[in-house]
Amino acid sequence: MMKILVAEDNLVSQNILEKILEKTGHEVMTAENGLKAWELLQRNSVRMVITDWMMPEMDGLELCQKVRSSDLPDYY
């Protein structure tokens, strides 16, 4: 089992990904934009992030850049 964060502003796509990942045994957290995803990443130990590219407030590229430049534990 892996803790996975799904950052997706389209709720239908977010729900589909969440159900598929949960069905395969993973713990899933969701965020509707990159800013909320970043907040969740800072408070939780997440092993994988699946992110949409275009989202309001902070897009997927910005989120990836923040993760790469951060001191978050367990980042590869």
Question: Which superfamily is assigned to 3-69 in CATH?
Answer: Response regulator (3.40.50.2300)
Q: Which of 36-40, 44-48, 67-71 has the highest mean pLDDT?
A: 36-40
Distance separating alpha carbons of residues 72 and 76, to the nearest angstrom? 10
73 or 69: whose pLDDT is higher? 69
Torsion, Cα of 31, 16, 52, 9 (10° steps): -50
Q: How far apart are CA 21 and CA 4, in angstroms?
A: 8
> Among candidates 28, 39, 36, which has minimal Cα distance to 6?
28
Percent of the chain at pLDDT exceeding 90: 84
pLDDT band at 76 (very low <50, low <70, confident <90, very high): low
Q: Which residue ranges make up each domain of the chain?
A: 3-69
pLDDT reported for residue 46 = 92
**Higher-pLDDT residue of 20, 67:** 20
Q: Are strands 3-7 and 27-31 parallel, antiparallel or unpaired?
A: parallel
